[in-house]
A and B are shown apart, each in its own frame.
Chain A
């Protein structure tokens, strides 16, 4: 009978091991899901950022005719836009990557500042302020800004859930072993953000 008891015991140990394995797998699947959510949330931002980067050259082109003596400011906007666009492409390759995200956040801050200066200048040109194309473009830009801000909030929530998820046992063991790197939040300084959104001509 000893062998039977041994076998029963062995079976129980085996069962526990399998349950642990399944538990680990569930944790792994959850991490994958959360990681996917981070990627999906990033994709939302990415679409809006691209739209915004497409809008800005048109905006500058329209403003050029009026702001003849402000070439420097306009060029600064274009340069900042190109840098931000490159940074966004890099960030899209690996959403959540810390260096890429910080680079993008920095480039976006610069772009926001440059746009803010351009709109501040435009205040002094009544012709430009009444231009329909300019009004439409800036309206669209500000609505895109809002969408980016909203999508960024969703992205940060997803990152937060994912980062918490990968620190909780048993996922923490799996996360270390299978290369689930910590994702980076996209934080923006409040003051700059407010400046960037203020593009209304009304």
Chain B
């Protein structure tokens, strides 16, 4: 499964979705026209089908209907973009308190955090649907930095850790493959058509009320009749429209579920967990059904069928038996029904505490980097667990607290050099919060016991807590980060990486942009690639000749003749330019981004080794390009020769 191919497919699926949806809208427009025309004929006592076509009337009806659907869909999608979590909140979800001591919730948070560190995606917000006894889960998200995972109470309590991990891996695959974003748009579009039906029913109801109020004026019976007719017609049309959009929704979703199952198994290398979870759903009396009133609207988000359908065509998920059979061919298709006992949860022992040999540099090959994007394996999860295990327990627990997370982020920036460090601390004191400097130095004390390769994962672990800052507090944090970075009047690789990760994953949260409000700077793709590769070439090079060599190696990775990239002079490589370049490149086609990422890896790897800081920068770039990249594994040997398998 190639991440970039999946992204391309997700894009073409969006196109397909728009075509199907436009067809549904056309049908709706024609139906509304027919209803209007019939109502008019009826009101003016004409034969029903005389002069049925009236172009003028048709265009008016079409314009109004389309404008209505478009406006409602737009508002709905905008509301969803402002906060993807609203879907979960609408289902009765509660944010799990990150510092919870409930063992079941602790376990869920740990599983999600491990998966996030292993995949290189930021830790999503984790919600619980406390009133849902069935086993189900859902992932919503617009992009990597605004995503949430929610599980039902049944899922939390009835599944073992392996099974829970399987479910979470399945949901992560939806997030990584961009399914959740399409699902959100789908929800908005369906809502637009739904509104027509709502207007119909409102019209009928208001009519009922006004006739109840006993107005004794003579009512034009023909007029009243036609209003009733329009109301009924709108209601029916709305229902028909919703029926069709549900068919679309179901058809698009079903195959994605199988893909997510497969990726889930690939992530954990353990089909037994996912199979176990699916079997438990089959054995549970209430299965995966949800009880929340709004459950239908979000049916395409779930891990397993959330509502009962009267026809398989409307199912958003393939049959349970089929899913189990695909993962476990020996399955005979018998699931005895009954009650399930909650699983006892032992104290979570963080990770496999096995000592992973810590190497200072990792050999890397561009192809391997491309292949690893969005496709983590069990070795990554094991590595993530061992990394987490080596973070001191006190730090790991307290980082879920916003004030501590803030101090830790600032502590990560403190320099080892005592002079710079003193300058940084006095810069912090100048902010005017006397406790901040204390908190930061104590956080930095705790960080000293952490391995260097844990820096980025620690930052990732801090993200959920940082999302709970107020906007003003986030502004203060940004200012403080800026002061620390500028204290030594030069910006190191890690400093840049940290700022990039923060602004990418928190900036979107605190200042949500509209989905397609393109504010990216006007810079040519070619120039953006040149800037990016030149920066990387200089970053890892000791001498100018090395930089040129690294740049050449990077250029060799791009498909020939596509770009005329040039190594820019060093003084032109400004970090602000790099920010603009990355923003521009994030908008390009997935396959191109894959190629660029490969070139970046080549630029970093020419000197034969990738330092931790270079690896982190590479991952931050991948992240900026919307390609979550798992951590580089210590001792990950990838031969360059003989493995030039073509991409796509």
**Taking the nearest CB of chain A, how far is it from the CB of B462, in angstroms?**
14
Q: Which of A112-162 contact B (CB under 8 A)?
A: 146-147, 150-151, 153-154, 156-158, 161
Which chain A positions have C-beta within 8 A of B89?
A: 36
Chain A's nearest CB lies how many Å from the CB of B146? 14
Residues of A close to B472: CB separation below 8 A = 153, 157
B637 within 8 A of A: no
Q: List 25 A–B pairs whose Cβ atoms lie within 8 Å, in order of A's numbering.
A: A1-B56, A3-B44, A4-B57, A7-B36, A7-B40, A8-B60, A14-B64, A18-B72, A18-B195, A19-B71, A25-B75, A26-B78, A26-B79, A29-B86, A33-B86, A36-B89, A40-B468, A43-B97, A44-B468, A47-B97, A146-B435, A150-B473, A154-B473, A157-B471, A157-B472
Q: Does the CB pair B67–A7 fall under 8 Å? A: no
CB distance from B269 to the nearest CB of A (A): 37
| A22 and B473 contacting across the interface, CB-CB below 8 Å | no
Within 8 A of B (CB), among A29-58: 29-30, 33, 36, 40-41, 43-44, 47
- Measured between beta carbons, the chain A residues less than 8 angstroms from B403 are 146-147, 150-151
Which residues of chain B come closer than 8 Å to A36, judged between CB atoms? Answer: 89
Assess whether B470 is in contact with A157, with CB atoms less than 8 Å apart: yes
Q: Report whether A4 and B72 are in contact in the complex, using a CB–CB cutoff of 8 Å.
A: no
Please give the distance in Å from B126's CB to the nearest CB on chain A: 14
- At the interface, yes or no: B99 with Cβ under 8 Å from chain A? yes
In-complex Cβ contact of A11 among B60, B97, B401, B402 (8 A): B60
B475 CB to closest chain A CB (Å) equals 10
Alpha-carbon gap, A197 to B439, bound state (A): 14
Complex CA–CA separation, A71 to B8 (angstroms): 73
Please, what's the 1-or-0 string for B63-103, where 1 marks a CB less than 8 Å from any CB in chain A? 01001100110010011001100100100000101010000
In the complex formed, the residue of B with least CB distance to A40 is B95
Other-chain contact of A147, B83, B199, B401, B473 (Cβ < 8 Å): B401
User: Which residue of A has the minimal Cβ distance to B100?
Assistant: A47
B67 contact set on A, CB distance < 8 A: 15
> Shortest CB–CB separation between residue B208 and chain A, in angstroms?
19
B456 to chain A, nearest CB (A): 24
Decide yes or no whether A12 CB sits under 8 A from chain B.
yes
Chain B residue numbers with a CB within 8 Å of A3 are 40, 44
B99 partner residues in chain A, CB cutoff 8 A: 47
CB of B233 to closest CB in A, whole Å: 14
Question: How distant is the Cα of A44 from the Cα of B469 in the complex, in angstroms?
Answer: 10
CB within 8 A of B72: which of A22, A44, A146, A154?
Answer: A22
Distance of A199 Cα from B521 Cα, bound (Å)? 51
Residues of B within 8 A of A14 (CB): 64, 199
A153–B68 touching, CB < 8 Å:
no
What residue of chain B has the Cβ atom nearest to residue A48's Cβ?
A: B401
How many Å lie between the Cα of A34 and that of B401 in the bound state? 21
In the bound complex, residues from chain A placing their C-beta under 8 Å from that of B97 are: 43, 47
Bits for B472-495, please: 1 = Cβ < 8 Å to A, else 0.
110000000000000000000000
The chain A residue with its CB closest to the CB of B79 is: A29
Query: From DSSP, what is the main secondary structure of chain A's interface residues?
Result: helix
Beta-carbon nearest neighbor of B403 in chain A: A150
Q: How far, in angstroms, from A68 to B185 measured CA to CA in the complex?
A: 68
Instruction: Report yes or no: B40 in contact with A154, Cβ–Cβ below 8 A.
Output: no
Q: Which residue in chain A gives the minimum CB-CB distance to B32?
A: A11
Residue contact B64 to A161, C-beta cutoff 8 Å: no
Interface residue tally for chain A (C-beta within 8 Å): 35
Most B CB contacts (10 A, CB to CB) among A4, A11, A23, A33 go to A11
Most A Cβ at <10 Å: residue of B40, B402, B403, B435: B403
Is the CB of B54 closer than 8 A to any CB of chain A?
yes
Given known contacts A7-B36, A7-B60, A33 and B83 CB-to-CB distance under 8 angstroms: yes
Shortest C-beta distance, B492 to chain A (Å), equals 28
Residues of A within 8 A of B471 (CB): 157, 161
Please measure, in the bound complex, the distance between the C-alpha atom of A12 and the C-alpha atom of B472, giving whole angstroms. Answer: 43
User: B61 on the interface (CB 8 Å rule)?
Assistant: yes
- List the A side residues contacting B175 at CB < 8 Å: none
* Contact of A153 (CB < 8 Å), options: B78, B86, B435, B473: B473
Q: Would you give the shortest CB distance from A136 to chain B, in whole angstroms?
A: 12
Interface pair A158/B57, CB less than 8 Å apart: no
- Chain A residue at minimal CB-CB distance from B59: A8
A150 and B468 CA atoms in complex are apart in Å by 11
B404 CB within 8 Å of chain A? yes
- The answer to whether B199 and A150 touch across the interface, beta carbons within 8 angstroms, is no
Interface string of B9-44 (1 = CB under 8 A from A): 000000000000000000000000000100010001
Contact at B79–A4, with CB atoms within 8 Å? Answer: no
Chain A residues lying within 8 Å of B56, measured Cβ to Cβ, are: 1, 4
> Which of A4, A22, A44 is B54 in contact with, Cβ under 8 Å?
A4
Task: Assess A15 versus B401: contact at CB under 8 Å? Given A7-B57, A44-B468, A47-B99.
Answer: no
Q: Which B residues are CB-close (under 8 A) to A22? A: 71-72, 75
* A-B pairs, 9 with minimum CB distance: A157-B470, A150-B403, A154-B470, A8-B60, A11-B64, A157-B472, A147-B403, A22-B75, A4-B57
A26 & B75 in contact (Cβ 8 Å cutoff): yes
0/1 interface trace, chain B 403-440, chain A, CB 8 Å (1 if under)? 11010000000000000000000000000000100010
Are B473's CB and A157's CB within 8 A?
A: yes
A7 and B41 alpha carbons, distance in the complex (Å) = 13
Across the interface, which residues of A come within 8 angstroms of B473, CB to CB?
150, 153-154, 157
Query: How far apart are the CA atoms of A157 and B72 in the complex, in Å?
Result: 31
Which chain B residues numbered 91 to 124 have a C-beta less than 8 Å away from chain A?
Answer: 95, 97, 99
CB of A191, distance to nearest CB on chain B (Å): 15
> What is the bound-complex CA distance between A179 and B191, given in angstroms?
26
Instruction: With both chains docked as a complex, state the minimum distance between the C-beta of B512 and any C-beta of chain A, in angstroms.
Output: 11
A13 to chain B, nearest CB (A): 10
Nearest CB in chain B to that of A25: its residue: B75
A155 to B406, CA, bound (A): 16
A8's closest neighbor in chain B, by CB? Answer: B60
Q: Complex formed: what's the CA distance from A153 to B469 in Å?
A: 9
| Contact of A151 with B435 in the complex, beta carbons under 8 Å | no
Q: Within the assembled complex, what's the spacing in Å between the Cα atoms of A43 and B44?
A: 62
Q: Is the CB of B470 within 8 A of A147?
A: no
Can you list, as one digit per residue, whether each of B366-409 has a CB less than 8 Å from chain A (1) or not (0)? 00000000000000000000000000000000000111101000
Say how far B18's CB is from chain A's closest CB, in angstroms.
22
A44: which B residues are within 8 A, CB to CB?
402, 468
Best-surrounded residue of B40, B57, B439 (most CB of chain A within 10 A): B57
Q: Which residues of B contact A146 (CB under 8 A)?
A: 403, 435, 439
Q: Nearest chain A CB to B441's CB is how many angstroms away?
A: 13
Residues of B within 8 A of A153 (CB): 470, 472-473
Q: Is the CB of B470 within 8 A of A12?
A: no
Q: Which residue of A lies closest to B195 (CB)?
A: A18
A7, B61: Cα distance in complex, Å: 9
A29 to B36, CA, bound (A): 33
Distance between Cα atoms of A156 and B471 in the complex (Å): 11
Can you add 4 more A-B contacts, CB < 8 Å, to A147-B401, A153-B472, A161-B470? A15-B67, A47-B99, A154-B469, A161-B471
List the A side residues contacting B435 at CB < 8 Å. Answer: 146, 197
Q: How far is the CB of A87 from chain B (nearest CB, A)?
A: 21
Residues of A within 8 A of B44 (CB): 3
Interface residues of B in 442-484 (CB under 8 A from A): 468-473
